[in-house]
Structure 1
């Protein structure tokens, strides 16, 4: 399922119109319609707003995976995420692959540190 389909489904599950979602996000109804027809893509900030409104993670909105990111992020974490995604989007494919490899190593380090804590 694509982001557009996921958004439409979440909106329907919450009995929310495009107009109402747009009002809650300070966006025009046509912008929400654009998200649902794939003609527009929301910024990371808008994705975070949508996630908050529907109680899901940004990861779920993007790829359907609810396990990667907690639903409620602090403002500091959101700023870091937004900066990360902005920089990541400017990388070449090869650099993106390297970044993913590095992120996997950081995740392994965090998991190991968590296991070592009493």
Structure 2
């Protein structure tokens, strides 16, 4: 499975559109589409964001291993701190996003709607 195929698999497993994931990690929708079709490769910062967001290792994303085991807490901290956008506020937002992703779909959808980030609003704002 190529990098793009793994990225698409992880995104679809979280029931996210390309546009929604692109907004969450602050890249362009077309950039994400190019990653998923292997027409472009992410830089280190984006690769770290993707690994942190999906709770996998960069080795898994880069096809160095088929083990998609989640990062340890120590690895998560190292990955997040190495990110260019590792302000305390951004780290807190990533933590909240991770917790939201673990909620059942109906509860997650209710919170997204409450905060105005439901699928329809996300697509309109892009």
Is the TM value for this pair above 0.5?
yes
Which structure has the highest helix share of the two? 1
TM class by smaller structure = 0.5 to 0.7
Does residue 7 in structure 1 map to residue 7 in structure 2?
yes
Q: How many residues align?
A: 78
Find the counterpart in structure 2 of residue 51 from structure 1: 51
RMSD over aligned Cα, in angstroms? 2.3
CA shift digits 1:14-34 (9 cap, x unpaired): 101100110011111101000
Find the counterpart in structure 2 of residue 105 from structure 1: none
CA–CA separation in structure 1 for the residues paired with 2:79 and 2:52:
12
Cα pair distance change 1:73/1:37, threshold 3 Å: same
CA–CA separation in structure 2 for the residues paired with 1:8 and 1:47:
14
Structure 1 moving runs of 4+ over 3 Å: 75-79
Find the counterpart in structure 2 of residue 18 from structure 1: 18
Distance apart, 1:63 and its partner CA? 1.0
Bigger RCO of structures 1 and 2 (CA < 8 A, at least 6 apart):
2
CA shift digits 1:39-59 (9 cap, x unpaired): 111001100000111110101
Distance apart, 1:73 and its partner CA? 4.2
Q: State the TM-score, normalized to the length of structure 1.
A: 0.58
The runs of 5 or more residues in structure 1 that have no matched partner are 80-118
Q: State the TM-score, normalized to the length of structure 2.
A: 0.55
Distance apart, 1:78 and its partner CA? 3.2
Give the number of the structure whose alpha-carbon radius of gyration is greater: 1
Match of 2:78 among 67, 74, 77: 74
Find the counterpart in structure 1 of residue 38 from structure 2: 38
The runs of 5 or more residues in structure 2 that have no matched partner are 84-126
